[in-house]
Amino acid sequence: YTVFGCGNRDWASTYQAIPTLVDQRLEAAGATRVYPRGEGDARGDFDGQFHDWYAGLWDALGAACGVA
C-alpha cells in the first residue's frame, strides 16, 4: 500500500492527520507498504509535491508485484 495525503498547513492542528492515521492503521494491520507516504500541501506547490512523490510510484509498484 501507499498513501498520499492532501492537506493545507493553514489547518495546522489537523494537517495530514487522516492520511497519517490511515498509514498507521494499515501498517498495524500488517499491510505491506510498497512506497513511502507522500504529503501535498494546498498552501504550497501541491502539484510539484505530488509530481515528486509520484515520480517513483510505478517503479515501486512494479517491484512489489514482481513485474519490474
pLDDT, tens digit, for every residue of 4-39? 999 999 999 999 999 999 999 999 999 999 999 999
In order of 3, 15, 31, 48, the CA distances from 38 in angstroms are 6, 13, 17, 12
Could you tell me the pTM of the whole model?
0.87
Q: Count structural domains, the chain.
A: 1
Domain that holds residue 17: 4-65
CATH of the domain at 41: 3.40.50.360
Residue 40's Cβ-side half-sphere holds a number of Cα atoms within 13 Å equal to: 15
Give 53's pLDDT tier (boundaries 50, 70, 90): very high
Q: What is the largest CA-CA distance in the chain?
A: 41
